[in-house]
Amino acid sequence: MNPTGSAHLELVCEGLIPGLPDELALMCLAALSHGHHGVLECVSRRWRDALRSEEYSRLKAREGLCGDWLFALTDEKPGMRWSAYDPGADRWHALPPAPGADPRSTHCGFACVALRERFLVLGGYPVRPPLEEHGGGGCSSYRRPAATREVMSFDPYRNRWSEVAGMRTPRCDFACSAVRGRVLVAGGWEDLPPMPAPLRSCFSVSHDGRFHVVGRSASQPRHFIFDPARGSWAPAPAAWQLHRLPRNAAAALDGRLYAILEQGLAALEGSGGAWSVLDGPPLFDLPDHRRKLQPSGCGFAGLRGKLYLVGGKAIRYDMDARVFDIVKFACTRFCDPAAAPLQWRDVRPIFRSRGAVLGCAALQQ
């Protein structure tokens, strides 16, 4: 008898976990979060097939085991190639490409939000490298591609994208938030009352059950609040100063609103109060640079009692060569805003990506 063939037969007949029925073994695997899947699939072909099976996806969905996800897309990853972080496993992994995404284009001007165990990417437009856009010859006037009304949905149980109902009109650089179980955008599936003034280059944040929209009107920064319970808009208190924030610089966590201001990490005190600075601006160390750098363009999100700061870029000055260059970061760091003293902690960097974050959102189990 061939000993190698005998061992192979024994391995094939063996269960997923020796000594356990496959149904119970699959439940044990389902309890592990998505950040472990890459390692688990390397254990054996049976484990890989089990983790990719429809039965496994249905089991996780039935038990509500979607896990915690932090999604990020940087300007270095074309083709809408998102990365996801699992805080429990301290691992980043790449999401599959969205269907129909052009691998040569960068997805810009979109909005993203997590709601009801789904991650949604809405609208936006594709941007190709300039030489490719104009055929590589001469100087052409640049025209931004047309925006889309498409909405892509990522299913964390099946690790799969699908297209869902689109917005009523194509949109880019618009506001979008999840408020009281609904996705609100500045012009989407269901018409909201008109804002007090039209805004452009918008972003938004969901806080206190209301939809905060920040943008510019007649070259002036404005901030309006929509209350779904009343179905009406109102200007925000002047002390809030959200209109001074860049995109992705505000996040809601456990009923409080936090922001990265010039002075540092701050929290909004009261329903219409001023910002309270909790800590100085987060600074990054470079081994070959004399000073710490303050990044911009970071992703900022709240998840499971922690605030996460992802990616970003900064201008570095080389004193020897007397030249400036741009440094792109892949760092991921978090802090507990309720802890004193507040301390940022570094965890695993973004998977094969770095730079300014175009979109960032958190999905909590």
What is the per-residue pLDDT for 191? 64
pLDDT per position as a tens digit, 78-117: 667 899 999 999 999 999 988 888 888 888 889 999 998 9
Q: What is the pTM of this model?
A: 0.84
What would the mean pLDDT of 249-268 be, rounded to a whole number?
87
CB within 8 Å of 7: residues ≥ 6 apart: none
Residue 331 token pair: 């760092």
What would the mean pLDDT of 6-27 be, rounded to a whole number?
70
Residue 177 token pair: 């938030």
Confidence tier at 138 by pLDDT (50, 70, 90): very low
What is the per-residue pLDDT for 317? 80
What is the per-residue pLDDT for 348? 95
What is the per-residue pLDDT for 276? 87
pLDDT per position as a tens digit, 139-152: 344 456 788 999 99
Give the residue extent of every domain in the chain: 3-63, 69-363
d(CA 280, CA 363): 27
What would the mean pLDDT of 260-272 be, rounded to a whole number?
80
- Edge-to-edge strand ranges of the sheet holding 264-268: 250-253, 256-261, 264-268, 275-279
Asked if 51 and 93 touch (Cβ cutoff 8 Å), the reply is no
Q: CA–CA distance from 33 to each of 36, 159, 262, 324 (Å)?
A: 6, 12, 36, 42
Confidence tier at 322 by pLDDT (50, 70, 90): confident
pLDDT per position as a tens digit, 45-79: 999 999 999 999 999 999 999 999 999 999 886 66
Mean pLDDT of the chain: 83
Residue 160 token pair: 């799969």
Identify the burial level of 45 via C-beta atoms within 10 angstroms of its C-beta, where 0-12 means exposed, 13-18 middle and 19 or more buried.
Answer: exposed
Q: CA–CA distance from 90 to each of 24, 148, 300, 302, 316 (Å)?
A: 26, 34, 17, 16, 29
What is the per-residue pLDDT for 231? 86
pLDDT per position as a tens digit, 149-202: 999 999 999 999 999 999 988 988 888 899 888 898 875 555 677 777 777 777
What would the mean pLDDT of 212-232 be, rounded to a whole number?
82
Q: Which amino acid is at 315?
A: I
Q: pLDDT exceeding 70 applies to what percent of the chain?
A: 87
CATH number corresponding to 69-363: 2.120.10.80
The number of residues in the chain equals: 365
